[in-house]
Structure 1
């Protein structure tokens, strides 16, 4: 097949014996636990690990800041949000380094479930790993659950890792 005849997805296929694994990371206790569990129980040195962080709807400024129209206030809020993102990136890198796992970091913008599924398809991922935050029934019903969305919309296997604190709530 000529190079120009390849479909875009074929360029992203992992090499023979390698898996593209996307891990949803938001810096939460549940996400960290999910990564640790993956590293200790599933990880293979040949895995191509993609750590995905969703910055929901970009900077996510409150409407009051936009209505105020003060550029200084808006810039300060944008800077604060970017600092939060960089803090999460640092946490992700430290976590991966603790387990000696080479990884790439991918920043996604949009609703977490939707952007993770889209990125997983674009990266030709063979497994998605996510933590469960253990939200209560009412909050999950009103707001939805990212892990629930991933499970129901993914075309590849999904590993949802419940934090041990969540297990205690079930007893």
Structure 2
């Protein structure tokens, strides 16, 4: 069963200038202003945090440079930090002649651990947004990351999805798959894929 947990914990709003031509514009008048919605996929990898920082430095801070306003005003931009945890239920593990069935207590312990890890990861990402005066909210989902990210982006009508690329070589990408590649082909909004810092290609 898919699970969704959503909380808004940052009180910063950054009004500012109109975005560049390739992204939706933001009107200057508060009464008519709409919020530019950016979703950033976050996990415990350095690549996802690199993507968040790149988006803040090159999109949000550059286009919304003015100081934060009161929390009750309509923000010019809102970042949704989304983390997806895999579905975990009673299973037989490992496959083979002597499998062990996980008890409900064991499953519950794993789920609590997942929730704790998700909260820690999102807290780190939220702190980065606070330090840069970017208004943000957190969203925890359960299921397959590729599908759930695309579904959430569509349901929330986001204007831009930001994901980090792990820089997998062609062979690893063929076997392991890629969340960024999948989202690029299935999400219905513009997507920004941030590559990791340059290094030797992985095969």
- Measured against the shorter chain, the TM-score band is 0.7 to 0.9
Q: Deviations over 1:102-152 (max 9, x none)?
A: 111111222111111111111111111111111232221112100000111
Write the deviation string for residues 76-110 of structure 1: whole angstroms up to 9, x where unpaired. 33332222122212222222222221111111222
Query: Does the 8 A contact of 2:146 with 2:183 survive in 1?
Result: yes
**RMSD of aligned C-alpha atoms?**
2.6
Residue 42 of structure 1 corresponds to which residue in structure 2? 59
Aligned positions of 1:21-32 closer than 5 A: 21-32=38-49
Q: How far does residue 60 in structure 1 lie from its aligned partner after superposition?
A: 6.7
Q: What TM-score do you get using the length of structure 1 for normalisation?
A: 0.78
In the other structure, the counterpart of 1:82 is 115
- TM-score by structure 2 length? 0.67
Q: Any stretches of 5+ residues in structure 1 without a counterpart?
A: 1-13
Structure number with the higher helix fraction is: 1
Greater gyration radius: 2
Worse overlay, 103-112 or 59-68: 59-68
- Secondary structure of the structure 2 residue equivalent to 1:169: coil
Aligned to 2:129: 96
For residues 155 and 67 of structure 1, do their structure 2 counterparts lie closer, same or farther at Cα, with a shift above 3 Å needed? same
Candidates 54, 64, 78, aligned match of 2:93 = 64
Aligned residue pairs: how many?
Answer: 155
Q: Distance in 2 between matches of 1:155 and 1:75?
A: 35
